[in-house]
Chains A and B, each alone.
Chain A
């Protein structure tokens, strides 16, 4: 879990930095008044970093909330039905070697 967390965080930072430079250059290329090139570039950097932080925040909350779950999913009739149907269909489509986790139990009926 920790590895996934660090890896994805690192990915976020990487993408943000790359986007920062790309969008900075894009903003500069779109400037009409040449005296304000650095103004636009700096603004683009700020905006991209801010957006990166916001997006990471959302992702991080989701991730951490699911890391040590305090609530467990409980079956309902509809979900049970759906899983059963999925198992049947998958058994028809794939050979028995490919098993996804959720239907192994049903198959053992």
Chain B
């Protein structure tokens, strides 16, 4: 294995990695490429050297502005793509890894390219709009021509009828409205009143109002005709299809013409000229048809061209976006450096894991090489008093459990990480509360689905609830598997016990109580218990004892971990005057309790002919009446002496936790001050503060031991609740229906099964699992971790493209 750094220590999940503070002197020319390389590596966290500088006054603000502009253009392209229904080609998995900086254009060229593209696309869109508007107008004109000509045809028809001789009319004469010649019909002589007309198109829903307004405005001196256009057409000034009608209005006089024109404008009715002669009409129709065909062709062509351009954009859109975001990240990072303009050199400071020093140096060399700068980057390790950040390398499996621990508090630099324990104990505690084979199987199947589909699900956008389940898929998987195991131990499958190995109790006729067959059911709880009168008593006693055992074991492990921390940080004081008294205290009381539980289990009380004494009474009696034990309460000989000894030890350990440490610290401080009388800086030592802190710590620990042990009884409480709920649902819903003997029982069973299924999923799977999850979490965070965990560190956040690109 290659040497991996100055200390050759293999990192582990148990303690955070060793970090060194580094200083880099980067040439300005090499800066961009160097930081690019470091971003791909993702192992260096930069410290902001310009913290008190306003964001707008930093050195590279302009570059960031340019990147923002490019981002805006990209978003515009994206919206165009979306409008045309084209999907940008998806980003490949190695978008971060592949060094396609060389293959793609340099950022300046990219900027120019974007500018051009934007202009082109905007022009394209503008033209399209113009053309479309034109086309719609032409369509409306066409409709006007068609419909209005019908009026005139009718009119000439009536005219021919009223005037009789058809040879007055020539095919290409003026189409004259019979209204124009009042002639024989009546009136005082041929008045050649010049009637004018307006033709146009108006929206159908406004038609009646339009008519009324025109009628009123002109005092009835108009003649209007309307004809509906069958299919809705697109209004030129809008985008939607509207149902329209063609109208023609005959009037006399110029004032009326103005009025009608204004009314048309108000109603958004478009007016079109109408040729009066037949010949003009036909030629206009032809021209209109031709124009329409032309326009349609041009529009199609433009659309095609537009789409082609967009497709070309789509192919590289995601890559461009990645590129722009990377560039922005680079400039933000460069803003954190000290920029020495005269020497054209950037000074950067940061944290880096000591095992990655080689990698960082390699990245720096690569950066210098790529940019062709003369001076290589200088890399220095410096010493500092700042607390280094905490870094745990997690993979997709351990990540979720480490997140659980981090949610409570980030571990202090190099303190013992409860993460690896959490991976196993958290699902285990969950399972104690959730133990049921059937429900565990459902949970495992769900988690398996998420895990096996993780590639596909990882890329798609998920609903928020499912996204949370997806992130915790490995946790769910372990929880489900543990629940199956615990369910097998509790012998519950949807609250039904299964008889694998043969009963160990026998019911004899005439007696209510079963006879013990002197063998033990090999794995789990005997199924004979299910439904009996004393089942609850039995299970309660069992689960309470299990909870206490698990709790005390976990707490003792926690205390031992604090010892490991003391050893690592080389704090002898903590070891001797915190760990040892704490251990003595907890072992002498609760460790003893666990041992007594085990002893009580192991003794054959029938053979001894003694009723087994109550453990609670024993524990209380240990403190309240230490000197004597009644003979029927005694579990083993010599119990009085042992218990007295333990009580004395426990009592002694409390002042041992409390007093020595502050006094010794005071003595050490005094010694240091005495030796450093030449005024070296020493921290302030406030004895009262240290003493109070120690008092709080002691009280917290002592009381905490008792309350935390009791708190672990929630394992019992929740598992009881779960078992009872599932029993009740099964018995009351399914069994009742299964026992029924009616001809319709099939229907009843169907309905009952659906109800039972939905209740199982809703109440037991979702609600109970959330509840068990929460309580297991609390047990970890409070009862386990307050024995040793400081949790006041800060997290290592390296400059890494993977994280930058993940944020979107």
- Residues on A close to B: CB < 8 A? 1, 4-5, 8, 31-32, 35-36, 38-40, 42-43, 46-47, 50-51, 54-55, 57-59, 61-76, 78-80, 82-83, 100-102, 104-106, 108-109
Contact = CB atoms under 8 A, between A and B. Distances in A.
19 contacts: A35-B355, A38-B10, A39-B11, A43-B420, A47-B423, A51-B424, A59-B489, A62-B489, A62-B523, A62-B542, A66-B504, A67-B520, A68-B601, A68-B606, A73-B505, A75-B514, A101-B517, A105-B509, A106-B509
Contact of B512 (A32, A63, A67, A74): A74
B104 interface: no
B550 interface: yes
A65 B425 contact: no
A60 to B, nearest CB: 9
B502 A79 contact: no
Nearest to B4: A35
A62 B525 contact: yes
B529 A73 contact: yes
Given A58-B486, A75-B507, A102-B507, A63 B514 contact: no
B538 A73 contact: yes
A105 B506 contact: yes
Contacts of B92: none
B524 interface: yes
A43 B12 contact: yes
A71 B537 contact: yes
Contact of A76 (B4, B506, B533, B537): B533
Contact of B10 (A39, A73, A83, A108): A39
Contact of B553 (A57, A73, A83): A57
Most A-side CB within 10 Å, residue of B1, B395, B489, B513: B395
B620 interface: no
A103 B203 CA distance: 90
Interface residues of B, number: 68
B356 to A, nearest CB: 10
Contacts of B466: none
A35 B395 CA distance: 14
Nearest to A5: B520
Contacts of B651: none
Contacts of A100: 502-503
B374 interface: no
Contacts of B507: 75, 79-80, 83, 102, 105
A73 B514 contact: yes
Contacts of A66: 504, 520-521, 525-526
Contact of A43 (B13, B428, B604): B13
A26 B489 CA distance: 28
Most A-side CB within 10 Å, residue of B507, B512, B523: B507
A65 B535 contact: no
Given A59-B489, A74-B532, A4 B522 contact: yes
B519 A1 contact: yes
B525 A73 contact: no
Most B-side CB within 10 Å, residue of A8, A39, A108: A39
Contacts of B512: 74-75
B494 to A, nearest CB: 17
Interface in B485-505: 485-486, 489, 502-505
Contacts of A39: 10-13, 393
Nearest to A83: B507
B541 interface: yes
B433 interface: no
Nearest to A7: B522
Contacts of B538: 69, 71, 73
Given A8-B522, A43-B12, A73 B550 contact: no
B550 A57 contact: yes
B424 A72 contact: no
Contacts of B365: none
A42 B13 CA distance: 10
Contacts of B537: 71
A65 B601 contact: yes
Contact of B531 (A36, A79, A102, A108): A79
A105 B549 CA distance: 39
A27 to B, nearest CB: 9
B718 to A, nearest CB: 15
A32 B549 CA distance: 39
B744 interface: no
A105 B508 contact: yes
B281 interface: no
Interface in B735-768: none
Contacts of B531: 76, 78-79, 82
B361 interface: no
B604 A68 contact: yes
Contacts of B526: 66
B212 to A, nearest CB: 78
Nearest to A51: B424
A30 B401 CA distance: 18
A76 B485 CA distance: 29
Nearest to B598: A64
B188 interface: no
A63 B519 CA distance: 11
A62 to B, nearest CB: 6
Nearest to B739: A81
Contact of B524 (A62, A70, A71, A105): A62
A48 B423 CA distance: 10
Nearest to B607: A68
Nearest to A38: B10
B489 A58 contact: yes
B338 interface: no
B477 to A, nearest CB: 13
Interface string B1-43: 1101000001111000000000000000000000000000000
A104 B506 CA distance: 9
A5 B522 CA distance: 8
A59 B523 contact: yes
A78 B735 CA distance: 12
B424 A65 contact: no
A94 to B, nearest CB: 15
A39 B15 CA distance: 12
Given A67-B520, A105-B506, A73 B535 contact: yes
A75 B535 CA distance: 10
Contact of A73 (B532, B545, B606): B532
B602 interface: yes
A4 to B, nearest CB: 6
B484 to A, nearest CB: 11
Contact of A4 (B506, B520, B549, B602): B520
Given A51-B428, A69-B538, 5 more contacts: A35-B355, A39-B12, A54-B428, A68-B603, A73-B532
